């Protein structure tokens, strides 16, 4: 049996997204400046911390997906002069026009006024995976060790003190038995671990549960389902930003769509278009299928006109934290900090988190730097991260959106009115409520009996299949998703009998609908009835099942390193 290796570092950063990379880059800058100062003045001790960043994707950016319109505020602070940097930042286009469309089934109306939160002049349309690859290059030039294909499986802890990360094992078969290439995941021992795993990070979730770190409200989430299209030039000009409301979602469901004009396609003749739909993971209808709703959205004439004559080139899906300031967990403790989406740094009112993830990474880096200088990695030092956040513009921004998502628990119209109130009164909810409460998203799902009178609605085939609309498998193919087939299932269902017996009757197995990658299927069982089949290799790592399963018996754990999507343009 191969021994589990142990490696020692000062700092382990988990996740190569905007938050993790900003932590790495800013920390490298702070250390460099400190050492120059020491050399110049002869005072103090130089620092040479061993910093490593681990990422579960096969390369930096391969799991990165967003809308995305970038508010440049975060980059302005992280990398002053970034627009002129070499290599050039991968900006698709500067936003030159933005508006909101209210959609009905057969048409739609352009709103005469764009709500302030959705105004984007001065921002940039970007592809997050291109942006993240660029940040990865900068981090590497600054000497950060980046280990892709290294998924953190669990935190090593002594009581409440985080001591590092154990990586996922390689080379186990479906039954968990070692194969010829078996390699136990190494333990990366660290004085400080920065969790920047993104939305519903698997180790962050465990830590928040184990140490009781959850904030005032439980975190609520949404899922975003997205395609990138190549369309004839001019049809959706670069820098056009359109947000949609209404159809195809019902009034009891939070969400909305987007269409963003990106830059030129590789052939120079076409433009790329980012199109997608966000659906709150606190919906009521157990048969709701976010992927299918997105396909329906594209059939609307006001939407399809942007795509006509084009072809879909890329697909992806991901959850995003929507709970706002009051859904954030405690962000620090003994030996750890939590940054970016993992900590809930997302402004759901603006559908923006990249700038906040970058900023939280910077604030985390400043705290790590202070801890390195003091040689103290306990909560007494790491709590300064929270203090920095409270004094920062990122906190002020999150305060303005603190009651946004909660307003939609009473339906779309209530949510919109609440958002209007919050815009006028500094984030306060209806009737001057400073702090609106919410429950965990899955608790809002109703049973088939309650929502559909006991009979599950039949899903009909969508028109224009394969041209404008796609089934889940076609879309998954366009996400480049691959996993080693012979490995333990990374979707751990605690009780599959419950799926066949109770869930089929009570909820109609919603996992088949909410999963945007056709991972969950109920198939005929010998002797009658249904059993759950998990097509784990399709999984795009969106974490929706971990969030929305009504019985909370699905646990998403990291598969072998390198498995998952291979996103392009997303
Ligand atoms: C559909 C959608 C649309 C959005 N639109 C916008 C927008 O228009 N503008 C905007 O500003 N923001 C937008 N956001 C939000 C924005 O993308 C996020 O806030 C931002 O990406 C968060 O950055 P992060 O670094 O915290 O997390 P992520 O970008 O999710 O990065 C986390 C990284 O950690 C890795 N990872 C996770 N777990 C592990 C592990 N255990 N071990 C190793 N690696 C791990 C992941 O593979 C990933 O690469 C959108 C999000 C979505 C999903
Ligand atoms: S199995 Fe879960 S995490 Fe994977 S794609 Fe489906 S819903 Fe998302």
- How would DSSP label each residue in 311-351? EEEEEEEEEEE---GGGPPP-EETTEEE-GGGGT--BTTTT
Atom index in ligand 1 nearest the CA of residue 319 equals 53
The pLDDT assigned to 417 comes to 87
The pLDDT assigned to 1 comes to 63
Residue 494 has pLDDT above 90, yes or no: yes
Task: Please report, rounded to a whole number, the percentage of residues in the chain having pLDDT higher than 90.
Answer: 90
Predicted confidence (pLDDT) per residue in 511-549, tens digit: 999 999 999 999 999 888 899 999 999 999 999 999 999
Choose among 354, 376, 391: nearest CA to 10.
376
Q: Say whether both 203 and 142 belong to one domain.
A: yes
Q: Say whether both 503 and 385 belong to one domain.
A: no
Q: Say whether both 387 and 487 belong to one domain.
A: no
Structure tokens at 28: 């490298």
Domain at 333, CATH number: 3.50.50.60
Structure tokens at 372: 């390195």
Atom index in ligand 1 nearest the CA of residue 354 equals 11
> Please, which residues have CB within 8 angstroms of residue 113's CB and are 6 or more apart in sequence?
none
DSSP string, 525-565: -TTSSEEEEE-GGG-----HHHHH-TT--EEE---STB-B-
Mutating to test ligand 2, I would choose from 541, 552, 563, 564 the residue with most ligand atoms within 8 A of its C-beta, which is 541
The pLDDT assigned to 427 comes to 87
Length of the chain: 570
Domain at 496, CATH number: 3.30.70.20
Q: Say whether both 30 and 57 belong to one domain.
A: yes
Measured by CA distance, the residue closest to atom 4 of ligand 2 is 539
- Please compute the mean of the pLDDT values over residues 323-348 and round it to a whole number: 97
Q: Are 65 and 481 in contact (CB under 8 A)?
A: no
At residue 543, φ and ψ (nearest 5 deg) are: 75, 10
Choose among 382, 234, 405, 398: nearest CA to 308.
234
Atom index in ligand 1 nearest the CA of residue 150 equals 43
Q: How many angstroms separate the alpha carbon of residue 110 from the centre of ligand 1? A: 30
Q: Does residue 235 belong to any structural domain of this protein? A: no
Q: Report helix, strand or coil for 515.
A: coil
Q: How confident is the model at residue 228 (pLDDT cuts 50, 70, 90)?
A: very high
Q: Does residue 106 belong to any structural domain of this protein? A: no
Q: Does residue 102 belong to any structural domain of this protein? A: no
Q: Say whether both 59 and 165 belong to one domain.
A: yes
Q: Does residue 462 belong to any structural domain of this protein? A: no
Predicted confidence (pLDDT) per residue in 264-284, tens digit: 998 888 999 999 999 999 999
Q: Say whether both 181 and 165 belong to one domain.
A: yes
Q: Say whether both 550 and 482 belong to one domain.
A: yes
Burial of 11 per CB tally in 10 Å (0-12, 13-18, 19+): buried
Residue 469 has pLDDT above 70, yes or no: yes
Q: Say whether both 485 and 551 belong to one domain.
A: yes
- Please compute the mean of the pLDDT values over residues 20-44 and round it to a whole number: 97
- How far, in Å, CA of 266 to CA of 187, rounded? 42
- How far, in Å, CA of 495 to CA of 554, rounded? 9
Residue 45 has pLDDT above 70, yes or no: yes
Mutating to test ligand 1, I would choose from 78, 93, 223, 351 the residue with most ligand atoms within 8 A of its C-beta, which is 351
The pLDDT assigned to 434 comes to 87
561: Cα within 13 Å, side-chain hemisphere: 24
Predicted confidence (pLDDT) per residue in 172-198, tens digit: 999 999 999 999 999 999 999 999 999
Closest ligand to the CA of 342: 1
Give the residue numbers spanning the domain of 536: 467-556
103: Cα within 13 Å, side-chain hemisphere: 27
> Please, which residues have CB within 8 angstroms of residue 175's CB and are 6 or more apart in sequence?
488
Tokens 């300064």 belong to residue: 384
Q: Does residue 562 belong to any structural domain of this protein? A: no
Q: Say whether both 430 and 485 belong to one domain.
A: no
540: Cα within 13 Å, side-chain hemisphere: 31
Q: Are 491 and 519 in contact (CB under 8 A)?
A: yes
Mutating to test ligand 2, I would choose from 205, 319, 545, 565 the residue with most ligand atoms within 8 A of its C-beta, which is 545
Q: How many angstroms separate the alpha carbon of residue 514 from the centre of ligand 2? A: 8
Residue 346 has pLDDT above 90, yes or no: yes
Atom index in ligand 2 nearest the CA of residue 514 equals 7
> Please, which residues have CB within 8 angstroms of residue 33's CB and are 6 or more apart in sequence?
none
- How far, in Å, CA of 364 to CA of 249, rounded? 38
Q: Say whether both 393 and 425 belong to one domain.
A: no
No. of H helices and E strands in the chain?
Answer: 16, 24
Q: How many angstroms separate the alpha carbon of residue 541 from the centre of ligand 2? A: 6
Q: Does residue 32 belong to any structural domain of this protein? A: yes
Closest ligand to the CA of 95: 1
Q: Say whether both 423 and 508 belong to one domain.
A: no
Across the chain, what does the average pLDDT equal?
96
What residue spans of 375-471 are helical by DSSP H? 379-390, 393-400, 412-424, 448-452
The pLDDT assigned to 432 comes to 80
> Please, which residues have CB within 8 angstroms of residue 141's CB and are 6 or more apart in sequence?
none
Q: pTM for the complete prediction?
A: 0.97
Q: How many angstroms separate the alpha carbon of residue 204 from the centre of ligand 1? A: 14
Predicted confidence (pLDDT) per residue in 63-120, tens digit: 999 999 999 999 999 999 999 999 999 999 999 999 999 999 999 999 999 999 999 9
Q: Are 164 and 188 in contact (CB under 8 A)?
A: yes
Q: Say whether both 210 and 329 belong to one domain.
A: yes
């Amino acid at each position: 049996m191969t021994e589990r290796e142990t490696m020692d570092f000062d700092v382990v950063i988990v996740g190569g997204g905007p938050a993790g990379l900003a932590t790495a880059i800013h920390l490298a800058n702070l250390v460099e400046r400190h050492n120059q100062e020491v050399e110049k003045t002869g005072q103090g001790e130089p620092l040479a911390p061993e910093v490593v960043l681990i990422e579960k994707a096969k390369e930096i950016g391969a799991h990165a997906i967003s809308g995305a319109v970038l508010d440049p505020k975060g980059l302005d602070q992280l990398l002053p002069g970034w627009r002129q940097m070499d290599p050039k930042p991968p900006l698709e286009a500067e936003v030159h026009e933005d508006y909101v469309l209210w959609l009905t089934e057969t048409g739609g109306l352009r709103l005469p006024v764009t709500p302030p939160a959705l105004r984007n002049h001065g921002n940039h349309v970007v592809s997050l995976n291109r942006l993240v690859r660029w940040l990865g290059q900068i981090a590497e030039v600054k000497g950060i060790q980046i280990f892709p294909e290294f998924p953190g499986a669990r935190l090593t802890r002594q009581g409440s003190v985080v001591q590092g990360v154990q990586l996922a094992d390689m080379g186990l078969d479906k039954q968990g038995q070692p194969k010829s290439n078996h390699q136990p995941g190494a333990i990366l021992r660290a004085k400080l671990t920065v969790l920047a795993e993104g939305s519903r990070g698997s180790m962050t979730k465990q830590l928040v549960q184990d140490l009781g770190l959850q904030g005032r409200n439980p975190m609520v989430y949404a899922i975003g389902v997205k395609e990138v299209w190549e369309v004839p030039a001019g049809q959706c000009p670069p820098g056009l930003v359109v947000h949609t409301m209404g159809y195809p979602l019902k009034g009891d469901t939070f969400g909305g769509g987007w269409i963003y004009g990106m830059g030129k396609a590789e052939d120079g003749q076409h433009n790329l278009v980012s199109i997608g739909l966000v659906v709150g993971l606190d919906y009521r209808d157990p048969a709701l299928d976010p992927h299918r709703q997105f396909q329906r959205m594209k059939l609307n004439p006001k939407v399809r006109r942007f795509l006509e004559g084009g072809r879909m080139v890329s697909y992806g899906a991901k959850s995003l934290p929507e709970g706002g300031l009051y859904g954030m967990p405690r962000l620090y403790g003994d030996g750890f900090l939590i940054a970016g989406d993992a900590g809930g740094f997302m402004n759901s009112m603006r559908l923006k988190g990249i700038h906040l993830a970058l900023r939280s990474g910077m604030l985390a880096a400043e705290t790590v730097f202070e801890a390195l200088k003091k040689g103290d990695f306990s909560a007494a030092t790491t709590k300064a991260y929270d203090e920095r956040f409270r004094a920062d513009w990122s906190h002020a921004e999150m305060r303005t959106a603190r009651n946004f998502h909660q307003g939609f628990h009473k339906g779309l119209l209530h949510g919109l009115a609440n958002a209007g109130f919050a815009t006028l009164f500094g984030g306060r909810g209806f009737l001057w409520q400073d702090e609106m409460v919410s429950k965990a998203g899955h608790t809002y799902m109703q049973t088939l009996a309650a929502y559909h009178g006991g009979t599950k609605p039949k899903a009909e085939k969508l028109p224009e299949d394969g041209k404008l609309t796609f089934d889940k498998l076609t879309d998954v193919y366009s996400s480049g998703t691959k996993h080693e087939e012979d490995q333990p299932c990374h979707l751990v269902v605690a009780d599959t009998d419950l799926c066949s017996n109770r869930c089929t009757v009570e909820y109609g197995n919603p996992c088949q609908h909410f999963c945007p990658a056709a991972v969950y299927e109920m198939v005929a069982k010998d002797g009658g009835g249904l059993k759950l089949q998990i097509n784990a290799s399709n999984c795009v790592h969106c974490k929706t099942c971990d969030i929305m399963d009504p019985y909370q018996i699905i646990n998403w754990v990291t598969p072998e390193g390198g498995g998952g999507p291979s996103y392009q343009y997303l």
